[in-house]
Amino acid sequence: MKKNTVFPMLAVALLAVWGQAQAAPNLSGEWKLNTSKSDFGPAPAPEMMMRTIKHSEPSLEITTHQKGAQGEITTELKYTTDGKECVNKLPNGEARGRAKWDADTLVVESVRDFQGTELKSKETWELSEAGKILTINNHITLPQGEFDLKLVFDKQ
């Protein structure tokens, strides 16, 4: 093989490997909350929570169905993972948020009105155990103070 063709072929191979390494994890699937591995901080744990995620970069659609002390509720959120602001309609108003990748971690920041109070949320989403576990660490900020939640979901 000629010397002048080795470098371009090596460069193409390295770019292909680098491109695969930079691909965002696919969050799509049916996810069931694992309450025993989750930490709800001061909030009451739901009886059950299921999350359906449709993820096709950069589109991210999240449908969450949960049942707890306040009854059953289903929410639908849509984001793009490019950091652009998205507005989602919720049963009690709307939420404004942005989602973006930080390496293999999805960061979702949102602001919403919760019972007349501004609620700020910063979530970090990480996949582990070959994409079978989704962990969402959520830092909540209210005028009365701050707290953290940890939601662990098992892929169904």
> How high is the pLDDT of residue 32?
98
The lowest-confidence range among 18-32, 96-110, 139-153 is 18-32
The lowest-confidence range among 18-27, 33-42, 130-139 is 18-27
Q: Which residues contact 66 (CB under 8 A, 6 or more apart)?
A: 33, 46, 47, 48, 49, 50, 72, 73, 74
Q: Which residues does residue 133 pair with via DSSP β-bridges, in sequence order?
A: 128, 154
Q: Which is it for the CA torsion 41, 67, 151, 96, positive or negative? A: negative
Residue 133 near residue 112 (C-beta atoms within 8 A): no
Mean pLDDT calculated for residue range 4-8:
50
What is the reported pTM? Answer: 0.84
pLDDT at residue 34 above 50? yes
Please give the residue that has the higher pLDDT: either 117 or 37.
37
Domain 26-155 has CATH 3.40.50.880: no
**Distance between CA 95 and CA 72 in Å, rounded?**
20
